Amino acid sequence: MNQPYTRTVYGQSGSCLTAPRVVISAAHGRSGKTTVSIGLCAALAKRGLKVQPFKKGPDYIDPSWLTAAAGSYCRNLDLFMMGQDGVKKTFVTASRSADINIIEGNKGLYDSVDIDGENSTANISRILKSPVILIVDSARMTRSIAALVNGYKNFEPDINIVGVILNNVSGSRHEAKLRAALERYCKIDVLGCLPRSSQLNIPERHLGLIPQKEDSELMPAIENIRKIVETNVNIDRIIEIAKNAPQELRVASCEFKVLNPKPETRNPKLKPEVRIGVPLDKAFSFYYLENLDALRDAGAEIVFFDTLEDKKLPDVDGLYIGGGFPEMFMDELEANASLRRDIHVAIEAGMPVYAECGGLMYLSRSISWDGKIKKMVGVLPCDIEMTKRVQAHGYVVLQDADGREIKGHEFHYSRFRNLGDVKFLYKVIRGKGIDGKNDGIIYKNVIASYAHLHAIGSSQWAEEFVELIGEARGEKQRYRVAV
């Protein structure tokens, strides 16, 4: 696998693609689809196949596990933020060199933002013409499983559900009854039966599964899951199903700026125009690869650094601070006072910064959690308090001063305290934002927002941010010349 978050180089966006693929979905959330997807990716990779994982939805954490299991970086497919064309083109570009593509859904197969199912996993499978394997939590169920599976098959008949994997099977008698019911009433392949096992449980945190990057001791969990999946699931049949997916996935031939920039807009032989510092460590790791690619395409060099270990800010012209778990590492973040001071001084001197969620928290005066209060960078006139309840969770639609709508998502347990007099960049059309009406605090050249944006659905975000950094650097250089 390449170094973390290095630039991915793609070929031209073609009109069709041959890509072995399968969607792993479920009857409902917490049925075991992430566990199955992890085990399947690991098992396929162990066979020497190049596995490309995808995750439906905006999640950052499940993709980190799929990345570790597959040995290649997982890509998000999100219809709300990226649109159909963005989903298709992301899939096409990322799947080109893969032997098999595993697409993990989210929630239940037909669940969606709206009742029409436009943003569902089922619609992802329809758009990508992919067969679907349904994961069913079979606990405390026998004959009823046939009614459930038939309901899913008949609800939208054009969705190609080709097989099921039964999870939480209590023993051989239970398995026999489940198989008999499905054989008699459903005529569908049973591709595997996973036993009830604590080794199939992945530790969770308040935002979901614990990021793989955060704890190397969790890596044996992937190996345990792989072994159980290999033993109890028909891997050969799943490979056959993926290979039998429609041979041509047609995609509209149009320019796709994030992944395929126009040659005349950026000469790859030219040196990057600006350097953007991006913290990538245990506290901050929530980044869409497309966002980093978009910044590079706009003329930036990405410089990674560690907010927990690096004592000085690297030589950069701007900062992009993504989300993560700063509250879990608030002691270490406070202890690294020299880096916090460097960032504070740089911002006061006019350095442009775009911060999302955890990044916003880091720029505040302090974070309080579980009776402790720890100092942060301190450039934003606010304090952050962690709570036990979710404060915001879901998709957002923001509107900037020019009336442009930007789609993203938010998920956090924190809330503001002692917010001073601030200006906001975004009006919240959907979602909660910072105060229920606004998001995106503006301070000097800083924009700090609870919303996570995706470059494909965020208009000119990358270009405008790089342009701002270039202008700020020009002002700084002119000042130096004048002095």
CB burial class (10 A; 0-12, 13-18, 19+) of residue 311? exposed
The helix (run of H) or strand (run of E) holding residue 236 is helix 235-243
- Give me the catalytic one of 41, 186, 193, 357: 357
Q: Is there a catalytic annotation at residue 254?
A: no
Contact 13, 95 (CB under 8 A): no
A 10 A CB-CB count for 281 gives 19
Judge contact between 463 and 428, C-beta under 8 A.
no
Structure-token pair, residue 481:
């010349």
At 372, which helix (H) or strand (E)? strand 372-375
Asked if residue 398 lies in contact with residue 408, where contact means CB atoms within 8 angstroms, the answer is: yes
By CB atoms closer than 10 A (0-12, 13-18, 19+), residue 165 is buried
Type of residue at 443: Y
For residues 38 and 337, give the distance between their C-alpha atoms in angstroms, rounded to a whole number. 38
Specify the 3-state DSSP secondary structure of 291.
helix
Q: Are strands 366-369 and 372-375 parallel, antiparallel or unpaired?
A: antiparallel
Question: Closest Cα to residue 277, out of 312, 313, 308?
Answer: 313
Q: Which residues, 6+ apart, have CB-to-CB distance to 57 below 8 Å?
A: 76, 77, 78, 106
Q: Please state whether beta strands 75-77 and 51-56 pair in parallel, antiparallel, or not at all (unpaired).
A: parallel
Query: At 236, which amino acid appears?
Result: D
Q: Which residues, in sequence order, are bridge partners of residue 305?
A: 279
Residues known to be catalytic: 357
